[in-house]
Structures are given as structure tokens and as C-alpha cells.
With several copies, the nearest count.
Chain A
Amino acid sequence: MPKHDTPLLDQLESGPWPSFVSDLKRQAEVNPACWDILGQLELSFVDKITHWKHGGIVGVFGYGGGIVGRYSDVPKKFPGVAHFHTVRLNQPSSKFYSTKILRQICDMWERRGSGMTNMHGSTGDLVLLGTFTEQLEEIFYEVTHDIGMDLGGSGGNLRTPSCCLGKARCEWACYDTAAACHNITNTYQDELHRPAFPYKFKTKFSGCPNDCVASIARSDLSVIGTWRDDIRIDQAAVKGYISGEFAPNAGAHAGRDWGKFDIQKEVIDLCPTGCMWMEGGELKIDNAECTRCMHCLNVMPRALRPGVDTGASILIGAKAPILDGAQMSTLIVPFIKMELENEFAEYKEIIEKCWDWWMEEGKNRERIGESMQRVGLPTFLKVMELDALPQHVKEPRSNPYVFWKEEEVEGGFERSLAEFRARNPM
């Protein structure tokens, strides 16, 4: 394939941030198709519009997802990207890799694809960007046989779950996010590969309320670590922070002189519940009032640690704005245990209840969060066989419009007009 002039894109080769343009040009030496990626992108820069056609249903035999079809609308000009399908590979938990497996993937992709990737896609997949239809089965074969990987999700199915670092490298993980993500992904391979849902369904695992995998904003079912006992305090370390021996927030603010650490201003006053105070040189926490927001732990990681009775909160319904506006997940189950020992049974009971109901009641292309809004939270809680809790809401209703059920009202709804008029004549 010939090189195209890319005067506009060339301007993106300068500057300190890594340049995907330079990277593409380099890769073009290995995969000449990259010249056409550059060429078509340059044309989009000139035209200020995409040059990819709408959709395109392609895939591998027996799977309903994992491949996103894509075709150029100017294939004659850019034959190298006439087809430009994406292959989504299901990433390993927390996105740790050996160089061995990465090199295998790269070699395969240089032979069978464009040589370009996204490390990673927003959902979490390892995204191989751009190949031809005839390559898809070959790729699938090599990936499953030689590399030992599998496709991720796309379409109306369980999307590739993802998780934060968790216990692998974080002191705050309240459960093993990587184990959960792996176990659950494998349990639901069929739901992941064979679309049977009204629409996409995402689940993400964060080890604590810092939510480093953005599960509360980006997953239909969010699993966020928390604890139900007391924050562990090392008073000596507290003194260490006060004395300046330890850098607050683990040095996250080291780049500017913010003055001497002030535990009152930086921790106690910023506690959203005001449940902390100093007493006789010791930091006190009224744990019954703590909402486990993480701020104090974040600022003094050496002094404060989550409790030991740890688990996760389950929140449901996050999604992007299409159609009713974005939603964040809503707290549905305040606390469950998340344990490999029982194969995360509590979690699985919840997700399966969601699916059973949503596959029945959900409309086409309706996310579960939208279904929840349509039927109302009280109805959804009944579906989930959960008692309504004040924790489910930020505040009780301010309108008086209660939908009483007939069985809840003494005497029911049926009334005799004769009786009524005998007492209250018209």
C-alpha cells in the first residue's frame, strides 16, 4: 500500500505526549495497512467527519459478540482498511500480563490484523483494532488454541467484566476483586458470548469506595468493597502524620507546598459525617456514624485501615445518557460477603435475579437501570426480594403520591355506592 500525504496528522507528531501518529507510521513498516489508517484519518481531519460506514454484522461461529464490524466508506482510496473490524479479547483480571503472552498476541496481530490495538477498551477488553472478515475465524482459532485467550462481549449480553487492582497491589481492597472478576466471568461465559439480553449488561469490581474501576458510573451491576466493623487506627502513625514524619495522602500532593499537615483541616473537617475528633493526642472515630467514604484512609494510609469484617456493597443501574440521561448505580444491597470459598454465591444470586426479571420485563434496548426507573425502585426491590431500607435513598419522597395496593388497605378498593349514598347523599 502506498504512503499518503498527511500534513494535518503530521502536526500531531510534535509535542511531549506520546504520538499515535508517529506510532502508526512506525507500525506501517510492519503493517502497510497503517498507511491507509493514516490516509483515511487524514481525510476525516480534512472533511471533519468519520469515513466509517454504519455497523456491519460479522463474528465467529457460535458467538454472538466479541467482534465489532467496521467498513470504510472510501475503500477504493484506502483498500487496506476496506474492512476494519475490531476484535475484543477478554483481558485478564486487573490487566496484568506476561511479556510472553503479549508478544504472542502481537505476533498474531501483525500477521492477521492491522498491528494496531487499544490497550485497553473502555469496558476493559484488550482491543485489536482492524482486520478483514476472512481473518476472523483464523484469529479466533489461534487465540483460543495457541494463546489461550477468548473473546470479550459486545451486543445484548454480559459485557466483559473488569476490576481494579485489588489485593494484588492495594492495601484497601475489601475483597479479592481479581478472583471475583475471573470466577464470575468464567461462570457466565454463555451469557457473555451469546446475546440473550434486552441490551448490554456490565459488571465491574472495585475493592473499595475509591472505585478505581469506575464501577458506580459505568456498570449495570457495581460491586464496591466496604466493611461493617471499625476502621483500624494506628495511633503512633497518626502522630507520625501530625509530626510531619509521613507525607499526607502518601505524597500525592508533594508537587506543591501546601504548608504543614493539619489533621484538623485536612482530615477531621473534611470528614463528610463529622465523626472524627482528637482526644488526648489520639484520633477518635465514631464508626457508627462513618459512611466509609475513604477520605481519612486516603490521607493517612499508614495510620488508618479498613476494618476486618469486609465485603462489598451492591449497586445497580449505571449507564451512559442514551436515552433518559446518564444514571449512576443505586445502592441495592448494602453489604454482602465476597468470597472465593463459596464461589461468590451471594453475588451470583443477585445477578441472576436481575437477569431473570430483566429478560422478562426489560424492553428492547432498555438497560436495567432504565427498567428500574420505569417500574420504580419499590417495585424493583420487591423483584429482588429485598426489604426497603432508608439506605436505598438519599431522602424519602417529598411528593404524597403513594400507590397503595388493594390488599394493604382495610376493606379493599371495592365499595358499595348504596352504602356511601346512605351516609353521604348527593
Chain B
Amino acid sequence: MGYDPANPMKDRITDIGPPHYEQFYPPVIKKNHGKWLYHEILAPGVLVHVSETGDKCYTVRCASARLISTSLIKDMCDIADKYCDGCLRFTTRNNVEFMVDSEEKVKPLVDACNAHGMLPVGGTGASVSNPVHTQGWVHCHTPATDASGVVKAVMDELFDYFTSMTLPAQVRVALACCLNMCGAVHCSDIAILGVHRKPPLIDNDTISQVCELPLAIAACPLGAIKPAKGINSKGEEVKSVTVNVDRCMFCGNCYTMCPSLPLADPTGDGIAILVGGKISNSRSMPKFSKMVIPFLPNTPPRWPETVAAVKNILEVYAKDAKKYERVGEWAERIGWEKFFEKCNIPFSDKCIDDYRLAYDTWRTSTQFKFTSHIK
């Protein structure tokens, strides 16, 4: 009975894969699978999907911090048991969704969510839905900032945009705590990115033991790392590397390959803001996010500079953009020079691409708008 360390292979089960999804479908979903005709958003966070059978599926969407406890999951289960035949789901943006099959079941369900206190209803339509984010200081070894803390601070401030649908279009906010960008930062309307700004510190006390030096050297996309002798704290000469700091772009790939080359630093690390990315193919093709603020300091617990920067961009956009226009579509229509002017963001040369495909971003035209930037 149970796992036997003495005999690990005993009736071992492997490669069964995920459980079959269908067993988890609420009855109304199972019955109307593939038969849906249209949907409507009845209120922020409340959707109805109408089937050709005439059946309806009402969905109530609630925010979650994503970093959640089993106790909170059990609370969700209690609600699902009470109102939703014991079924629930999570969205691709980490919201939780409760589904019922008739209108009168909606209000009690919504009330229960609101009553809970940790399950605000919203995130549909022209709103700011749940930010896709990452581990940060809660679990990862390479972060340049925290994840859950920054998201909490930002969403406390943007909360009304989660529970309403007043924006020109959906605004996808994402955070990644380092350039690895686990998640959606590279294609989000507003992205918060943890960035390092100091080259790797070379730990000569450990590097020759814990690192495959050739791998560390090969890891650098810019060839900034070269083999060299180093002196450890005992004063002994050891096989090590040097980093050409002028060629370093702080990507952190060397640290990923070699624990003795940490980049993280309390003052060097912080946050960059990127905007204008999108994923959907609706109207315009998918777009990458563009860097508009290269650095803001790490200021726990509430990162006021980052919160203010995100809110400012969101609200200038909300005022200025046309209906259906995503942040990136708006910026391209008015021109990026106007984006910086309207958002009152000083333009930094750091925002000018100087990497591999840079030339394609240079302005090879006389078409430009005169803005406050031009003295």
C-alpha cells in the first residue's frame, strides 16, 4: 500500500498523461459541446453562451492571485459544489470560472463569490484581465524583480478596470521577472519586465567546480565571455572567465548556464515597461511589445513608480484611443512620437533598437510629427 522506497518499481504507473477532460465538463457543456451559437457578456465577469439546442451556459469569472493556497482552492470547490454541480475551470489568464445552466442561478453564485472576499468578479470584455505573470522572488533563481508583489500592487490600483468594461478594448497586462520572459511580456498591451543592469559577478571561489566553463563561454550571444585565470578569495589562481562589460547586454544567459555568474543586484535590478503588443489576429497582425521605459527601480512592497507608469499609460490610452483599438494599434495610428508626448514619457536612447534587426525600426522617411521632443 503506497510508495515503497525499498522497492520503487513496484506497480509503478507512468505515462498515463492528463486525465480526460470530458469527465470534468459541467453537464450543460458536455451536452452542447460544439453547438454554441453565440455569447453575450451580461455584466463584467458574467458571460452567457447560447447553444443551438436552446441551452445556455452562464459563466462567472473571478480573479485569482494565481499563487494560491489549497485552502483557497477548497473554497472555490465549496462554491462549485454548492452552485455548479461540482465543476469549475481556470482560464488561460489564471482566472477561475464557475458555470451554471440557468439565469436564476447566476445571482446567488455571484453573491457567493463577492461574499468570499478573495474572488472578485470581472475580467471580461474591454477590461484589464488578470495579468499573466511569473515566479519572481517566490520561487525563481534568476529574477530581477518580484512577480506576485508587483502584480498585487498594480492590480490594486487598476482594480476598477478589472470589474468594469470601460476601455477601448481588452488590455492585456503581463509581468515577467527576467528576460527569459516566462509568459506573455513580449506580446502584451502593457508589459512589466524585470531587468538586470550589472554584468555577471564572477565567483572565482566556485566557478571552476560548479561550471562547465566552455558552456558558460558559449552561452554568451555576444561573445563577451572569454576564458581567463582568476584569483579566488584564498588568493589562489583558478581557471575562470572574464566578461567584457562593454559587450554585455545583461541577458542572464550565462547565469542560466553557470551558477557562479550571478547578475542579480539590489540597485542594478529593476523594471522596464513595454507596451503595444498583441496576440490576436483581430484587425491587425500580432505585434511585439515595445520598450518605452527602460528602467524603474525595485521599490517593494508596492513599487509606486511602476504602478504609476502603468496606470498613466492605461489612462492616457483609455482617453485617447478609438473603440476596438488595442494599445499597439492606437500607438501606431497616432505615431510613437505622439505616444511619448501624450503619455508624457521622456524618450530614452535606450528605447532605440541596437540589436540584430535594428535597422528595420529606423525611420527612413520624412514622415514624422513635430512633438515637444524636438527643440
Contacts and interface: CB of A to CB of B under 8 A. Distances in A.
B251 to A, nearest CB: 6
A110 B132 CA distance: 26
B266 A41 contact: no
Nearest to A324: B356
A142 B290 contact: no
B265 A49 contact: yes
- Dominant secondary structure at the B interface: loop
B315 interface: no
10 tightest A-B contacts by CB? Answer: A252-B125, A15-B156, A376-B354, A388-B349, A54-B259, A397-B353, A141-B3, A27-B69, A106-B70, A398-B288
B139 A326 contact: no
A403 B366 contact: no
B304 to A, nearest CB: 11
B264 A320 contact: no
Interface string A364-386: 01000000010011110110000
A18 B182 contact: no
A115 interface: yes
Nearest to B351: A396
**Which among A45, A119, A141 has the greatest number of chain B C-beta atoms within 10 A?**
A119
Contacts of B252: 322
25 contacts: A11-B302, A17-B155, A17-B162, A18-B63, A23-B72, A53-B259, A97-B24, A101-B24, A119-B68, A167-B36, A182-B18, A209-B280, A211-B366, A216-B281, A217-B286, A218-B184, A251-B165, A272-B367, A376-B358, A393-B351, A397-B355, A400-B179, A400-B272, A409-B268, A411-B267
A170 interface: yes
A169 B100 CA distance: 12
Given A168-B25, A391-B369, A397-B353, 20 more contacts: A18-B65, A20-B152, A45-B146, A48-B267, A54-B262, A92-B18, A100-B86, A102-B74, A105-B73, A120-B90, A129-B139, A193-B14, A216-B365, A255-B127, A256-B165, A272-B283, A292-B281, A331-B363, A335-B370, A400-B272
Q: Identify which of B198, B255, B370 gathers the most chain A CB atoms within 10 Å of its CB.
A: B370
Given A70-B139, A323-B221, A393-B363, A19 B65 contact: yes
A7 to B, nearest CB: 9
A118 B134 CA distance: 9
Contacts of B96: 119
Contacts of A238: none
Contacts of B202: 417
Interface residues of B, number: 195
Contact of B186 (A48, A92, A101, A217): A217
A374 B206 CA distance: 35
Given A249-B125, A322-B180, A377-B352, A118 B186 contact: no
B348 interface: yes
B125 A102 contact: no
A398 to B, nearest CB: 4
B237 interface: no
Nearest to B252: A322
B253 A322 contact: yes
Interface centre among B206, B351, B368 (most CB of A within 10 A): B368
Contacts of A247: 40
Nearest to A227: B370
A328 B146 contact: no
B70 A12 contact: no
A342 interface: no
Contacts of A118: 66-68, 94
B93 to A, nearest CB: 9
Contacts of A97: 24, 87-90
A394 B363 contact: yes
A171 B166 contact: no
A280 interface: no
Contacts of A408: 197
Interface size class of A (residues with CB under 8 A): 35 or more
Contacts of A173: 34
B137 A53 contact: no
Contacts, number: 614
Nearest to B14: A62
B224 to A, nearest CB: 11
Contacts of B249: 401-403
B69 A48 contact: no
Contacts of B159: 15-17
B18 A413 contact: no
A239 to B, nearest CB: 15
Contacts of B14: 62-63, 144, 150, 193
Contact of A378 (B87, B338, B354): B354
Contacts of B251: 321-323, 400-401
B350 interface: yes
Given A99-B88, A413-B245, A122 B41 contact: no
A169 B57 contact: yes
B58 to A, nearest CB: 11
A170 B49 CA distance: 8
A93 B197 CA distance: 40
Contacts of B362: 330-331, 377, 392-394
B198 A144 contact: no
Given A167-B34, A320-B180, A394-B361, A424 B262 contact: yes
Interface in A316-347: 320-331, 334-335
B201 A61 contact: no
A96 B87 contact: yes
A24 interface: yes
A195 B120 CA distance: 40
Nearest to A148: B19
B248 to A, nearest CB: 8
A76 interface: no
Contacts of A404: 197, 250, 350
A67 interface: no
A266 B337 contact: no
